[in-house]
Structure 1
Amino acid sequence: MKYALATLAFALAAPTALAQSMEITKAEDRAGNIGGDETFTGTVYVAPVFPPNMNDVSAGEVTFMPGARSAWHTHPLGQQLIVTSGTGWVQERGKEKLVMQAGDVIWCPPGVEHWHGGTDKTSVTHFALQASKDGKAVVWGDKVTDEEFLD
């Protein structure tokens, strides 16, 4: 009986002993960088929000200044964009360019080639959430030309 009670006490305490603690990352500790010329046109600021610690999902906060945009790209498992401020453009290859504004949520399905960024006159900020497949969350393509951007 004594052994059974000790085993029961350990079993009840074990989940608590093995549980992880919450973690807070302060905004000032999430320093970002200016996006690289090979994947962006114009001034783009990319700040990590969280690394792929939850089912390989990561997020970044991206700010596009007027005229700035991503290159054409795809995501192997898709991408969710949550626009937090400003007005921008998003376009799927072969389709019309669409306006995105604060409060909008855009779903980019897996493998669908697209770009997003500010408009020619306005900046936009969004959170970009994407999951990795085989260690890759994005596949970059050609840069969006000025003609494609303004069309």
Structure 2
Amino acid sequence: MRLIHGTEQAGTAGKTGSKFTGTVHNYLTMPSTDGVTINTVNFSPGARTHWHEHEHGQILQVLAGRGLVCTGADGVRVLRAGDTVWCPPGERHWHGAAPDSFMTHTAISLGTTRWAEEVADEHSAAAPAAQEGQ
């Protein structure tokens, strides 16, 4: 067993290198252990990850606010507190806060994360109202 106290968690504020657009507070809840990394991320309105994929997939658990998640196949989908997302291995995607809301999620990443380019502003704002109920 490994117990990681909250006081041991490493946090970063602001734009974190080549992984995020906008202001985020990223807390490394559990450093990589057996290929599993857990982060709790607070996104300011419109803040988001860059495109990326995970070697063995990723689980997102939305804790608060409203956000967006997007894949090439599924397009932009709306996220709300209580939602859980499974991104299968190798699925290229991005996620973050809706343009008019903060969003907090826990991201459980399995294996290596491969980061790619920034998401264009017009692409991240393309969550049509029709998708609100999905």
1:97 aligns to what SS in structure 2? strand
- In structure 1, list runs of 5 or more residues that go unmatched: 1-21
- In structure 2, the residue matched to 1:44 is 24
- In structure 2, list runs of 5 or more residues that go unmatched: 127-134
RCO comparison, higher one (Cα < 8 Å, 6+): 2
Q: How many residues align?
A: 125
- In structure 2, the residue matched to 1:7 is none
Distance 1:123 1:33 in 2: 17
Q: How many Å apart are 1:26 and its aligned residue? A: 2.6
Please identify which structure carries the higher helix content.
Answer: 1
Calculate the aligned-residue CA RMSD, in Å.
Answer: 1.5
Deviations 1:9-57 (A, max 9, x none): xxxxxxxxxxxxx55433233130024242111001110111222x321
Letter in 1 for 2:66: T
Residue 58 (str. 1) matches residue 37 (str. 2): yes
Distance 1:147 1:48 in 2: 29
**Structure having the higher Rg:** 1
- In structure 1, the residue matched to 2:95 is 116
Q: How many Å apart are 1:143 and its aligned residue? A: 0.3
TM-score of the two chains, using structure 2 as the length reference: 0.86
Residue 67 (str. 1) matches residue 46 (str. 2): yes
1:2-151 matches, within 5 Å, as: 22-34=1-13, 35-53=15-33, 55-132=34-111, 137-151=112-126
